[in-house]
Amino acid sequence: MEVHVPTLEQTLKTHVETMQAPERLKEAMLYSLDAGGKRIRPLLLIATAGSYKPVTTAAYQLGATVEMVHTYSLIHDDLPSMDNDDTRRGKPTNHKVFGEALAILAGDALLTESFSLIGNMSEETLPPRDALYLSRRLTEASGATGMVGGQVADLEAENRTVTLEELEWIHRQKTAALLTFAVEAGGVLGEAPREDITRLRHFAEEVGIAFQIKDDLLDVEGSESTIGKPVGSDEHNHKSTYPGLLSVDEAKRKLHTHIERAEHALQSLTVPAPDLFAVLSYMESRDR
């Protein structure tokens, strides 16, 4: 899958660099887009599309869309009034480098641009009806009914112990919704059969929860140099986590259960999808 990363990153970079916009704003947008994330969402999208059809420019464009939305959410989440994080992936956060005002505006611009990428796809690669459907699904996944709603619930849950159900709801909104969009968008682009789209959504929801459990485990067990932030920062920030609510061992078992369910969903697809299986095993074994 890593073979797709350079083209994806070039797509992101070119899109921002060629915009007719103030240079400082473009710098702030590129700073966070360049910050070397795992690119898990676009890679899932490309792997899904590629399971049905050869990978085209359109897959990178849609991948860039979802990475822009993810990056905007990180910039805003890191702000002093939210999680107040000074570093992310071992680098100073956006507002630490560009100031709060520009960080907010860079996030706003990334969110807005993500819709422009969908709107600018050629009709041959994505029929207008499908493009509109994905634009609608992206708003559901990323707005008040999805990621933004999850962030609100997460902030409201700070400094109190939430139940496992509440924690699961928060992560379904905050993390799984956008991952599910990415996988579904890949399916739509690859013209996957309708029954596969449903299974792909199940797969993505399980991956979303697994991803969060793994993140929580890394925060307890990882090393600062690999995860790019201080170990134990969740506890320090009074965040409820899976190992906190369960135990490290139970959280690991739960992680494994979600990975198994995701595998099961993949096995039921009408195509083999080896790249999606590869993402899964990376998910379980990753150390950052």
Give the CB-side neighbour count of residue 68, counting CA atoms within 13 A.
30
CA 256 vs. chain centroid, Å, equals 20
Applying CB under 8 A, which of residues 12, 40, 49, 109 lies at the interface with a copy of itself? 109
Nearer to a copy of itself, 144 or 278 (CB): 144
Site string for a copy of itself, 76-105 (x = CB under 8 A): x--x-xx----------------xxxx-xx
Q: Take residue 169 and report the two structure tokens written for it.
A: 């709801």
d(CA 2, CA 242): 29
The residue behind tokens 């709107």 is 119
Nearer to a copy of itself, 51 or 180 (CB): 180
Secondary structure class of 193 (helix, strand, coil): coil
d(CA 271, CA 268): 8
Q: Which stretch binds a copy of itself (CB under 8 A): 6-14, 50-58, 153-161, 259-267?
A: 153-161
Under the binding rule (CB under 8 A), the answer on residue 237 touching a copy of itself is no
Under the binding rule (CB under 8 A), the answer on residue 189 touching a copy of itself is no
d(CA 256, CA 276): 16
Nearer to a copy of itself, 88 or 199 (CB): 88
- For 268, phi then psi, to 5°, come to -85, 0
Query: Which parts of this chain interact with a copy of itself (CB under 8 A)?
Result: 16, 19-22, 24-26, 29, 72, 76, 79, 81-82, 99-102, 104-105, 107-109, 111-113, 115-116, 118-120, 128-129, 131-133, 135-136, 138-140, 142-145, 148-149, 151-153, 155-156
